[in-house]
């Protein structure tokens, strides 16, 4: 178990600045998820921690030791890729023990580690099977087992579940979480899947364009997004947004546009609000309630049946507002639906900088 400290990291690949002035602290034993859209640099960052990319500037410490230029094999890390890359001619046991055999680990020690990993990953009955006779989920478990037997200080995962179907992903996600608890190891995990990030992470770093936008617990990132990008990247359906301006009169602060007006005096502004400030008001679909005496109204254009709830899409002066309706009954399409926003759960962002107010 080791911490990872990244300082002012810069990575340039093929002439592109892929990571820019990045700082990240991962505590020993922590499960950190790097989350972001395709191309944001999360895999590049992970591979750089593993020693697979050259650093243009900055440093990487693992367990208090400068590893910026260390050979991958000397970093005390173990990397699990999206593709399983198992040796087809070797059975599961041999696949898992391969690395240990070539570095001369004693036989008894190899057996102990393979048994332990097989127990944790429910691979005992499969130890003598070849990869061709395993399902995708089983193969990925073997790939994870191969990483575990190395007993590394830091485990790095690069979208390990993305080749699996939805049910298997959920299962393996739970297993990974348990594995983290059992091993108590430091884990850094790359994904573009927000559900995976929310459920696995102790803390998550949301990235865009090689820059960390926010690094915090999943709950804080979801409930207090630092900027509009983070606010709209997380959540499904995404946060509803309304543009408007602030009006400040003494202690009273109002948000208004031509269709709505809200008292936002109780909003926890980071800095004193400024009258006339152009801003974006955000509210998550679960914080929009369709109720008869709602002050706002929209035309219902689409109802999405989700089993235990419905998503109502309301046309509100030409923009679509998503609203979650719990229960089994939903109004018919084309109806006019009154709604209100939960004013205690509003988010405000500066329109120009897109930062949270």
Query: Under 8 Å CB-to-CB from 124, ≥6 apart: which residues?
Result: 118
Work out the widest C-alpha separation in the chain, in whole angstroms: 77
Question: Looking at beta carbons only, is 34 or 348 nearer to ligand ATP?
Answer: 34
Element (H, E) at 188: strand 186-191
d(CA 75, CA 65): 9
Closest distance of CB 6 from ligand ATP, Å:
15
Question: Looking at beta carbons only, is 54 or 119 nearer to ligand ATP?
Answer: 54
Closest distance of CB 44 from ligand ATP, Å:
3
DSSP code of residue 72: G
d(CA 37, CA 35): 7
Query: Can you give the binding site for ligand ATP, defined by CB under 6 A?
Result: 13-14, 16, 18, 36, 38-44, 192
The DSSP line for 297-349 is EEEEEEEEE-SSEEEEEEEETTEEEEEEEESS--PPTT-EEEEEE-GGG-EEE
Question: Looking at beta carbons only, is 163 or 257 nearer to ligand ATP?
Answer: 163
Question: Looking at beta carbons only, is 36 or 137 nearer to ligand ATP?
Answer: 36
d(CA 193, CA 159): 9
Closest distance of CB 209 from ligand ATP, Å:
9
Question: Looking at beta carbons only, is 209 or 331 nearer to ligand ATP?
Answer: 209
Query: Under 8 Å CB-to-CB from 86, ≥6 apart: which residues?
Result: 95, 131, 139, 142, 143, 146
Closest distance of CB 197 from ligand ATP, Å:
12
Question: Looking at beta carbons only, is 13 or 241 nearer to ligand ATP?
Answer: 13
Closest distance of CB 282 from ligand ATP, Å:
24
With beta carbons less than 8 A apart as the criterion, state whether 221 and 52 touch.
Answer: no
d(CA 273, CA 280): 13
Closest distance of CB 150 from ligand ATP, Å:
23
Closest distance of CB 206 from ligand ATP, Å:
11
Question: Looking at beta carbons only, is 43 or 186 nearer to ligand ATP?
Answer: 43
Closest distance of CB 157 from ligand ATP, Å:
12
- Token reading at 180: 């983290």
Question: Looking at beta carbons only, is 110 or 187 nearer to ligand ATP?
Answer: 187
d(CA 191, CA 82): 10
């Amino acid at each position: 178990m080791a911490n990872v400290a990244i300082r002012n990291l810069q990575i340039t690949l093929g002439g592109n600045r892929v990571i820019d002035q990045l700082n990240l602290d991962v505590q020993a034993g922590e499960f950190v998820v790097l989350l972001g859209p395709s191309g944001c640099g999360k895999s590049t960052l992970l591979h750089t921690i593993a020693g697979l990319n050259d650093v243009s500037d900055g440093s990487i410490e693992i367990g208090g030791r400068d590893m910026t230029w260390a050979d991958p094999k000397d970093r005390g890390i173990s990397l699990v890729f999206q593709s399983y890359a198992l040796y087809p001619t070797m059975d599961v046991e041999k696949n898992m023990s391969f690395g240990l055999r070539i570095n001369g680990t004693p036989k008894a020690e190899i057996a102990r580690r393979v048994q332990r990993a097989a127990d944790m990953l429910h691979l005992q009955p499969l130890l003598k099977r070849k990869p061709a006779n395993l399902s995708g989920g089983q193969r990925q478990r073997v790939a994870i087992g191969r990483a575990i037997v190395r007993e590394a200080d830091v485990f790095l995962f690069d979208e390990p579940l993305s080749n699996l179907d939805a049910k298997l992903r959920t299962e393996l996600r739970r297993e990974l979480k348990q594995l983290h608890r059992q091993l108590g190891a430091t884990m850094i995990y790359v994904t573009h899947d927000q559900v995976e990030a929310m459920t696995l992470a102790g803390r998550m770093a949301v990235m865009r364009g090689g820059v960390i936008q926010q690094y915090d617990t999943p709950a804080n990132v979801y409930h207090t997004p630092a900027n509009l990008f983070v606010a709209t990247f997380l959540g499904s359906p995404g946060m509803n947004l309304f543009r408007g301006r602030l009006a400040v009169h003494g202690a009273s602060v109002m948000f208004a546009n031509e269709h709505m007006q809200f008292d936002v005096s109780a909003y926890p502004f980071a800095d004193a609000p400024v009258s006339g400030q152009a801003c974006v008001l955000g509210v998550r679909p679960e914080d929009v309630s369709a109720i008869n005496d709602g002050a706002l109204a929209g035309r219902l254009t689409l109802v999405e049946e989700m089993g235990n709830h419905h998503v109502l899409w309301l046309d509100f002066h030409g923009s679509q507002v998503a609203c979650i309706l719990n229960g089994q009954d939903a109004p018919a399409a084309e109806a006019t639906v009154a709604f209100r926003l939960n004013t205690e759960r509003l988010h405000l962002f500066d329109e120009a900088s897109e930062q949270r107010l």
